[in-house]
């Protein structure tokens, strides 16, 4: 899930939809409170980042996609009318393992098997198992179609936990390795959220700390990951941090995404370039108390745009690599 997509969708839809979201207002940096939160961020200083001290796998890699079917995965689909997800849906989500229209299916793409994600209905393909302390690698590319009036979007959600559809009826709460043009590797907190409602009433149960710097060329909260930057939480109204650089290949080409997680930390890597590190990943238990977030299921999103995934492997590791500025 991408809250930035929610912002864009709501901006487009509020002109015609009378919802409670109008009272809450998506954060855009226009209020003194929002400006105060990011006022201390240092300016972005770009430099080449490299991944060092790579961990050796403690066991052989395991493929999460067998190339024939979706064995090992569940599907969860949200509302039939995807746009109503943001403006006040009627009825219930489609639900668990009821993908009758092939939102997720195995196809041949570029001469090899891949998981095709149609994007027409919001939802996710979820690993049946939970994982911790691992290196996940997959290949991703965009398809030709994008169905709804918000930017192309998808995501790799990890440490997924809690209730199916808790986020907009479509996703489990999780940390998100964002897949969006020019922002692949952005970090977002996917939390319990049912539209329409003010953003400040969302249960932001998922959180993390990231070293940030200010880049006014991107939307509020104007934050990119920068090693040595100001350590800040993913806390409303500043609940996302963009990738350090745009390392995506041209549209239609395959991208290699690497996710490293160990304990309550994670690193996002795009085509060999480390673009973000998060620490102190956390969620809330049933009593509402913060607890470290160190494991969970993996979700491959369907979020309005056609996409393909292939070569999905996971291997256990005994430490997290390091990011160096050069």
Question: How do residues 7-39 score in pLDDT, each as one tens digit?
Answer: 544 433 333 333 333 335 678 999 999 999 999
Are 67 and 258 within 8 A, CB to CB?
no
Amino acid 296: pLDDT: 98
pLDDT band, residue 322 (cuts 50/70/90): very high
% the chain with pLDDT above 70: 92
292-321 pLDDT, tens digit per residue, is 999 999 999 999 999 999 999 999 999 999
Q: What is the pLDDT of residue 236?
A: 87
Span 85-92, mean pLDDT? 87
HSE-CB of 3 using CA atoms within 13 angstroms: 32
Do residues 232 and 159 touch, judged by C-beta distance below 8 A? Answer: no
Tell how strand 112-117 and strand 265-270 pair up. unpaired
pTM of the model: 0.93
Query: How many domains does the chain divide into?
Result: 1
At 208, give phi and psi (nearest 5°): -165, 165
196 versus 71: the higher-pLDDT residue is 71
Which residues make beta-bridge pairs with 57?
317
208: domain CATH number is 2.60.120.560
The DSSP secondary structure of 57-72, one letter per residue, reads: BSS--EES--SSS-TT
126 CB neighbour count, 10 Å cutoff: 23
* pLDDT category of residue 6 using cuts at 50, 70 and 90: low
Residue 246: name the closest of 218, 208, 267 by CA: 218
Torsion of CA 28, 34, 38, 44, to 10 degrees: 10
Give pLDDT tens digits for 117-165: 999 999 999 999 999 999 999 999 999 999 888 789 999 999 999 999 9
Quote the CA–CA distance of 116 and 310 in Å, as a whole number.
Answer: 9
Write out pLDDT tens, residues 227-265.
999 999 998 899 899 999 999 999 999 999 999 999 999
CB-based contacts of 244, cutoff 8 Å, min separation 6:
46, 49, 185, 224, 225, 226, 274, 275, 276
- Domain containing 137: what range? 3-325
Distance separating alpha carbons of residues 319 and 254, to the nearest angstrom: 28
């Amino acid at each position: 899930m991408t809250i930035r997509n929610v912002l864009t969708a709501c901006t487009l839809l509020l002109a015609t939809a009378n919802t409670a979201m109008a009272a809450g207002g998506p954060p855009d940096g226009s209020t003194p409170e929002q400006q105060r939160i990011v006022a201390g961020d240092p300016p972005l200083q770009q430099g080449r980042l490299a991944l060092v001290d790579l961990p050796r796998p403690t066991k052989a890699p395991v493929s999460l996609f067998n190339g024939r079917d979706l064995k090992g995965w569940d599907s969860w689909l949200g509302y039939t009318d995807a746009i109503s997800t943001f403006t006040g849906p009627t009825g219930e989500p489609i639900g668990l393992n009821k993908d009758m229209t092939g939102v997720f299916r195995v196809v041949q793409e570029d001469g090899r098997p891949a998981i095709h994600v149609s994007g027409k209905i919001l939802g996710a393909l979820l690993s049946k198992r939970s994982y911790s302390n691992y290196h996940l690698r997959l290949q991703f590319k965009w398809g030709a179609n994008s169905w709804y009036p918000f930017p192309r979007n998808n995501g790799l959600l990890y440490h997924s936990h809690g209730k199916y559809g808790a986020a907009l009826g479509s996703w489990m709460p999780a940390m998100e390795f964002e897949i969006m043009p020019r922002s692949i590797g952005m970090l977002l907190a996917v939390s319990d959220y049912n539209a329409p409602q003010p953003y400040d009433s969302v249960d932001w149960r998922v959180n993390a700390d990231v070293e940030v710097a200010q880049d006014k060329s991107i939307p509020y909260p104007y934050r990119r990951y920068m090693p040595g930057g100001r350590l800040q939480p993913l806390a409303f109204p500043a609940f996302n941090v963009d990738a350090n650089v745009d390392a995506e290949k041209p549209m239609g080409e395959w991208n290699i995404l690497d996710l490293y997680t160990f304990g309550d930390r994670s690193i996002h890597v795009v085509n060999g370039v480390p673009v973000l590190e998060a620490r102190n990943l956390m969620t809330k238990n049933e009593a509402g108390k913060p607890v470290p977030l160190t494991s969970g299921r993996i979700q491959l999103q369907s979020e309005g745009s056609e996409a393909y995934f292939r070569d999905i492997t996971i291997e256990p590791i005994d430490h997290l690599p390091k990011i160096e500025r050069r």
